[in-house]
Structure 1
Amino acid sequence: MTGIPTNGTSDLSTPPPLLSALDLHKSFGPTKALVGAEMHVRAGEMVAVMGPSGSGKSTMLHCLAGIVPPDSGEVRYDGRLLTGMSDAERSALRRGEFGFVFQFGQLVPELSCLENVALPLRLAGMRRGEAERRAAEWMARLEVDDLSRKRPGEVSGGQGQRVAVARSLVTGPRVIFADEPTGALDSLNGERVMQLFTAAAKESGAAVVLVTHEPRVAAYSDREVIVRDGRALNAERIG
């Protein structure tokens, strides 16, 4: 591990983390999902969170995103204590500064693809015309602008995931949380989604927390964090 102090001192060689988890513990009934897990993500960095099924990697993502509160420990975002925020404050972060991509996209079936991408902006109060203009720009970057008027049920899985990626980026988030974004795709479509996702995230400057069990997907990241038995071990990219 390099550049992440744990004793409260600063390291001038690297920027401070944008998002940090410190000594997280989380149990679901008798099952311990996280046991003292720690993780740090810098601005603009893509970090792959890997581990076997049931290791706690998705729970780690949900705690980092403020979706699930840990039983103990801290999550800090941009110097603020996320675990000390109200539900309303965490919801505001998820609407504006956080973006999400899930395994099955979770697009709204009744809306067109363009309306799905524009939805976060509309929920934030933006006028429809401006929201859809920005949505169209992101759809073009993800190479799905020709699907604007189609509904999610009319597009392929790979196309739907590109629409979901566009939706995650449209608000200009500082962090994107992606949970197995290619898990429901074949290898060819998965590779194309990751190529476009990585390029778009880098262009926007967003940090990415990417949960995956696939080494070929993790290879797109800058660094890997291995979660095993509820604990996290950082691994710097070599080469």
Structure 2
Amino acid sequence: MNNSPSRTPGPTGPRRAPILAAHALSKSYGATEALRGASVELTAGEILALTGASGSGKSTLLHCMAGIVEPDAGAVTYEGRRLDGLPEHARTLLRRTDFGVVFQFGQLIPELTARDNVALPLLLAGVRRQAAEQRADACLERFGVRGQAASRPGELSGGQAQRVAMARALVTEPKVIFADEPTGALDSLASEQVLTALVHTAREAGTAVLVVTHDAQVAAYADREVQLRDGALVPEPAAATATARVAGDEH
């Protein structure tokens, strides 16, 4: 991307109760501490960027909040209910209905067409094939890849494949989208297309978005940014907080 966008308008007014929250999460892999007491909240309609260097714990935090990984300590709550500790089948069901997950390389099923990849979550939920394909086509249209509906992943460009993955994540109309380095494998133009489509859809549907990135230009699309370092959140400098408060008082 050649130009960093200004922050897009997000939820206004008093901060609402979080739809998703992590409370003092800790997670270790052997002797390596991936998370050390990390806490973060996400409200409906908000786009939050988790930033930090490689190995800082960003993806682990996202995976814990999405119910993919169980933390060793702490709690994850979704709509006021404890998410961590639920049986695997219950967390899997949430990822089919309330959560949408997008990874860096899309992880599309190579044997299926773009349409079938997007329709798959609906089919697994018991939606009839014709209705599922109609909704899949509408979602592909929203992301500008309706013309590639009959193409398989190997026939798509990187940007097209990632937009198909976005369509698949959003076709169930989830309440939360988790995007783990969604533009890490894309060029500047494709990255801008994917991020613009994601922001537009989030605003239109009021979907909460948690995006992991090490790229400041990607974080610029978010309403708010939280930085991790060595598994812990980096506190916002007091001077920056005071400056932001003064600037807000002046308007």
Structure 1 and Structure 2 fold alike (TM over 0.5): yes
Give the Cα separation in 2 of the matches to 1:155 and 1:136. 16
Q: Is the 8 A contact 1:39 1:234 kept in 2?
A: no
| In structure 2, C-alpha distance between the alignment counterparts of 1:155 and 1:84, rounded to whole Å | 39
State the AA in 2 paired with 1:119: L
Q: Which runs of 5+ in 2 are unaligned?
A: 1-12
Tell me how far 1:225 sits from its aligned partner.
0.7
Cα 1:234–1:66 shift into 2, 3 Å: farther
Looking at structure 2, the residues matched to 204 and 152 of structure 1 have their Cα atoms a distance apart, in angstroms, of 27
Deviations 1:151-183 (A, max 9, x none): 111010001111110111000100000000000
CA-to-partner distance for each residue in 1:71-128, whole Å, 9 max, x for gaps?
A: 0000000010001311121111011000011110100111100011111001111110
Corresponding position of 2:142: 141
CA distance in 1, matches of 2:229, 2:37: 11
Q: Residue 104 of structure 2 contacts residue 185 of structure 2 at CA under 8 Å; is this kept in 1? A: yes
What amino acid is the match of 2:70?
Answer: P
SS of the residue aligned with 2:108? coil
Superposed CA RMSD: 1.4
Q: CA offsets, 1:29-52, max 9 Å, x none?
A: 000000010000001100000000
3-state SS, counterpart of residue 83 of structure 1: coil
- Alpha carbons 2:51, 2:226 under 8 Å: kept: yes
Q: Tell me which amino acid in the other structure corresponds to 1:55.
A: S
Indicate the residue corresponding to 2:22 in structure 1: 21
TM superposition score normalised by structure 2: 0.88
TM-score by length of 1: 0.92
Structure 1 residue 188: deviation in Å? 1.4
Question: C-alpha displacement at 1:234, in angstroms?
Answer: 6.4
Aligned partner of 1:155 in structure 2 is 156
Cα contact 2:70–2:85 (8 A) shared by 1:
no
Q: CA deviation at 1:13?
A: 3.3
Change in Cα spacing, 1:133 to 1:104, as seen in structure 2 (3 Å) is: same
SS in 1 for 2:222: coil
Query: What is the identity percentage for the equivalent residue pairs of Structure 1 and Structure 2?
Result: 56
Structure 1 unaligned blocks of 5 or more: 1-11
Structure 1 equivalent of residue 4 of structure 2: none
Residue 218, structure 1, aligned to residue 190, structure 2: no
Within 5 Å, give how 1:42-57 maps onto structure 2: 42-57=43-58
Name the stretch that deviates more: 216-225 or 189-198. 189-198
**Match of residue 35 from structure 1:** 36
Structure 1 stretches of at least 4 aligned residues deviating more than 6 Å after TM superposition = none
- What corresponds to 1:99 in structure 2? 100
Q: Secondary structure at the match of 2:104?
A: coil
Q: Aligned-pair distance for 1:233?
A: 3.6
Q: How does 1:75-154 map to 2 (within 5 A)?
A: 75-154=76-155
